[in-house]
Amino acid sequence: MTATAQYEARPFGAGRQRMTPALYAIVPVKRLIRAKTRLSPALSFAQRLVLARRFLRRTLAIAREFPGAAQTIVVSGDAAVRAVARREGMIALNEPGAGCINRAVDIGLAWARRRNARAIVVLPTDLPLLTPQALRGFARLAGTPRVRLAADRHGSGTNALYLQPVQPGFARFGDGSLQRHRAAALASNARVETVHENALAFDVDVPADLKLLAARKR
Residues 171-182: tens digit of each pLDDT = 999 989 999 999
Q: In the predicted model, what is the mean pLDDT of the chain?
A: 88
Percent pLDDT > 90 in the chain is 76
Nearest-angstrom CA–CA distance, 203 and 214: 13
31 SS3 class: coil
Q: Identify which of 108, 204, 85, 207 has the alpha carbon closest to the alpha carbon of residue 161.
A: 108
For 18, 28, 143, the CA distances from 198, given in Å and listed in that order, are: 36, 21, 26
What band does 101 get if pLDDT is binned at 50, 70 and 90?
A: very high
What band does 9 get if pLDDT is binned at 50, 70 and 90?
A: very low
pTM above 0.85, yes or no: yes
What band does 35 get if pLDDT is binned at 50, 70 and 90?
A: confident
DSSP designation for 7: B
